[in-house]
Amino acid sequence: MIRFEAVHKSYGRHEVLKGIDAEVGRGQVVCLIGPSGSGKSTLLRCVNGLETYQAGRITVDGVPVDAAAPTIHGLRTRVSMVFQRFNLFPHRSAIENVMEGPIHVLREKPAEVRARAEALLAQVGLADKIDAAPAALSGGQQQRVAIARALAMRPDAILFDEPTSALDPEMVGEVLQVMRTLADQHMTMLVVTHEIQFAREVADAVLFLDGGRIVEQGPADAVLRNPTHERTQDFLRRVT
Ligand code: ADP
Ligand code: MG
């Protein structure tokens, strides 16, 4: 579904991704872990064209990602992104946030979109909050609205960039639970996270990124329980 082939990315002279080879199969959950500054967000942002890359190739469903091509808009509707800081429209209610993309980007009929948005908010446990303003919701609730908003686009894949890192600890579980349900429904997901327990339970594969290189990748169990590289071992000691 998502394939990285020798992807290189620099900001000016600073090379941030130094040849990334990896893939996320359809219906798979792949967790991307690694220290701060290792290039995790940059890698995600390259997938839906929020950043350009200079060499190599990223394909989604076989189609190369080219941030400068007109096809990038279509690609962004098929690959949704969930950010660390939910990025909801502050002056719109929960359901209006969820309806925004399908109405304005996909140009679907408001009545149909509304029914779907209600169902999605119910799916993330917010049936009673559809008219709430983001400011009236907890961080965990706002992130669940953001996930419903991503799902409203009927994406083929969702990219998550540290979706629980900005949350108070007691709200982490409710968001991870929603993500677990999506995994059970075989949503294709690439997830940057420091939640090692989540990765262990849910991920089909784990990628460990360090200094712009994937130093270790494989089945979650192998990478997280028996990492072969010292850098992975160090990192896991620090976050678990
Ligand atoms: P991570 O998400 O793993 O913490 P990032 O992808 O955010 O890492 O950043 C990787 C490197 O790229 C860091 O050194 C960071 O300072 C640099 N970087 C990220 N975004 C930009 C940008 N827009 N311009 C210049 N440098 C950037
Ligand atoms: Mg990041």
Global ipTM? 0.98
Percentage of the chain exceeding pLDDT 90: 89
Average pLDDT of the residues in 227-233: 91
Average pLDDT, the chain: 95
39 lines ligand 1 (CB under 6 A): yes
- As beta bridge partners, residue 64 has 59
Count of helix runs (H) and strand runs (E) in the chain: 9, 10
Indicate the pLDDT class of residue 71, thresholds 50, 70 and 90: confident
Please say if the pLDDT value at position 81 is more than 90: yes
183 neighbors 213 (Cβ within 8 angstroms): no
3-class SS at 145?
helix
Phi, psi of 62 (to 5 degrees): 85, -10
Q: Look at residue 138 in the predicted model and tell me its pLDDT.
A: 96
How distant, in Å, are the alpha carbons of 30, 41, 194, 226, 240 from that of 160? 10, 9, 12, 25, 20
Q: Which residue has the higher pLDDT, 140 or 66?
A: 140
Please say if the pLDDT value at position 240 is more than 80: no
d(CA 143, CA 87): 9
d(CA 63, CA 71): 10
Indicate the pLDDT class of residue 170, thresholds 50, 70 and 90: very high
- As beta bridge partners, residue 17 has 9
d(CA 166, CA 24): 25
Please say if the pLDDT value at position 78 is more than 80: yes
Average pLDDT of the residues in 48-52: 92
d(CA 222, CA 115): 43
Report the predicted TM-score, pTM, of the whole model to 2 decimal places. Answer: 0.96
The 8-class DSSP code of residue 127 comes to G
d(CA 185, CA 18): 33
Residue with the smallest CA separation from ligand 1 atom 13 is: 37
**For residue 203, with 0-12 CB atoms within 10 Å meaning exposed, 13-18 middle and 19 or more buried, which class applies?**
buried
Indicate the pLDDT class of residue 68, thresholds 50, 70 and 90: confident
Please say if the pLDDT value at position 188 is more than 80: yes
Q: Look at residue 70 in the predicted model and tell me its pLDDT.
A: 85
Indicate the pLDDT class of residue 232, thresholds 50, 70 and 90: very high
Indicate the pLDDT class of residue 95, thresholds 50, 70 and 90: very high
36 lines ligand 1 (CB under 6 A): yes
How distant, in Å, are the alpha carbons of 111, 192, 213 from that of 179? 27, 12, 26
**Pick from 58-67, 88-97, 137-146: least confident:** 58-67
Please say if the pLDDT value at position 214 is more than 80: yes
- Angle (CA) 174 142 194, round 5°: 55
Which residues, in sequence order, are CB contacts of 128 under 8 Å at separation 6+?
none
Ligand 1 site-directed mutation target among 8, 11, 85, most atoms within 8 Å of CB: 11
Neighbouring CB atoms inside 10 A of 129's CB total: 20
Ligand nearest to the CA of 209: 1
Distance of CA 128 from the midpoint of ligand 2 (Å):
32
Q: Look at residue 175 in the predicted model and tell me its pLDDT.
A: 97
| 36 Cα nearest atom in ligand 1 | 4
